[in-house]
Amino acid sequence: MGSIGEPEVTVLGWWLSMFDPRVRIALIEKGIEYEYIEEDLPNKSPLLLKHNPIHKLIPVLIHNGKSICESKIILHYIDESWMDGTPLLPSDPYLRSQAAFWADYIDKKIYDGAKRIWSSKGEEMQKGGQELIGYLKVLERELGEKPYFMGESFGYVDIVLISYYHHLLAYEILGKFSVKQDCPKLFGWTTKCMERESVSKTLADPKRIYEATIEFRIKSIDIED
Amino acid sequence: MGSIGEPEVTVLGWWLSMFDPRVRIALIEKGIEYEYIEEDLPNKSPLLLKHNPIHKLIPVLIHNGKSICESKIILHYIDESWMDGTPLLPSDPYLRSQAAFWADYIDKKIYDGAKRIWSSKGEEMQKGGQELIGYLKVLERELGEKPYFMGESFGYVDIVLISYYHHLLAYEILGKFSVKQDCPKLFGWTTKCMERESVSKTLADPKRIYEATIEFRIKSIDIED
């Protein structure tokens, strides 16, 4: 327990990050109170530099003064530190390895496809859209008829993927694809996830994300179209 | 247990991969017998395509017919499945998160620095060498005076990093740096790791790695120097 005035659990985050919501969703699912500190990324705070001196990136979880960095590593830490709450990962080693495999797939592929969309224009941007929908179709096949990625309960892989969802809505417009039409099962899954308070309260407004994505594109590439 | 003629544990690998030795080192450290099948990567085997249909990459661990992919995920699986052997990871959640952080750092940074060396030439290649030695110095600071990365025992982070070692010897020549001179503590750690049979038996001959790296460079970029 922290002493008076010192929160036991603090999250350093940034509203536009697709990695930040993961930590907050997991904490809410576990029923853990936390303080959220929004970073101003162009002007990183001394607190961020102190707690993530290697990468200087959010999200960071600070628990009783100790810092844990990298969103997937933080999810494992939360699951192992608060064992009483709903488990985020299965206990069987094989099922754990499969959950880790799909979370790794999501971060390797979805981020790459998304980057191709927001860092290009015209035909290249649409190719990025096709690439991204291809990866989402792989995830749709893995989901199959299950309510959640690991079976009956919302958990680790769901948290890792749903955190991209409101960004995907921006990429849909730019990359000219539709999760609802192209991946109907995955779309059904997003609807179920969004019904959870942990998710709906945490993901940023998709309109705000879209506007920030457009602004970011204009700054980083010479947009003519 | 597999039935007669069917090995319980099989590793699909490739001698030149820096990820393949991780799996074999971990299995030897745990005292687990395994069959090793060398893949011919330009002609991927039906066994590899069956057991890693998503990425089609080695290493793959096949345990009683179930496949586990991605080297760091395999290490976690081995540690959790054979609990009786020497533990590869600590049990404390915070220490586990720190081990995962450094393993992630190694794969993000060392691979990137190495790629910059073998995919460029001249001044750019030497810049890659400086970048790589910078990352190795961060690891040297993290190692400090400890015998191994996580303390007194050889484990997860050591396995993840030592698997790069014979490749680093090739990058040293190309990128004009010296682990021995620039990172003396890290060099001492490599010597200690190489004394372990699990490591010395598993890492490929550095001369063969160097020759293959040169051949690969010639094929992939227009080398004039």
The reply to whether residue A97 touches residue B105, judged by beta carbons under 8 angstroms, is no
B68-105 pLDDT, tens digit per residue, is 999 999 999 999 999 988 899 999 999 999 999 999 99
The verdict on whether omega for the bond into residue B206 sits within 30 degrees of 0, i.e. cis, is no
Q: How confident is the model at residue B224 (pLDDT cuts 50, 70, 90)?
A: very low
Model pLDDT, residue A155: 98
Residue B112 CB neighbours (<10 A): 13
Nearest C-alpha in A relative to B65: A94
CATH for B93-220?
1.20.1050.10
Strands A35-38 and A9-13: parallel
Q: Decide if pLDDT at B199 tops 60.
A: yes
| In the block, residue with structure tokens 């892989």 | A157
CB distance B19 to B163 below 8 Å = yes
Q: Which residues of A touch B138 (CB under 8 A)?
A: 54
- DSSP 8-state code for residue B147: S
Order of strands, edge to edge, in the sheet holding B9-13? Answer: B35-38, B9-13, B60-63, B66-69
d(CA B16, nearest CA chain A) in Å? 23
Mean pLDDT of B104-124: 90
DSSP A174-208: HHT--HHHH-HHHHHHHHHHHTSHHHHTTSPPHHH
**B9-81 homologous superfamily:** Glutaredoxin (3.40.30.10)
DSSP helix/strand/coil, B2: coil
ipTM of the complex: 0.94
**B211 contacts chain A (CB < 8 A):** no
Domain ranges of chain A: 9-81, 93-220
Q: Which of residues 15-74 of A touch B (CB under 8 A)?
A: 54, 63, 66, 68-70, 73-74
d(CA B100, nearest CA chain A) in Å? 7
B147-184 pLDDT, tens digit per residue, is 999 999 999 999 999 999 999 999 999 999 999 999 99
The reply to whether residue A76 touches residue B66, judged by beta carbons under 8 angstroms, is no
Q: How high is the mean pLDDT in each 10-residue block of chain A (225 residues)?
A: 66 96 98 96 94 97 98 98 94 98 96 87 90 97 98 98 95 93 98 98 96 85 50
| In the block, residue with structure tokens 């500190």 | A37
The reply to whether residue B70 touches residue A101, judged by beta carbons under 8 angstroms, is yes
B134-143 pLDDT, tens digit per residue, is 999 999 999 9
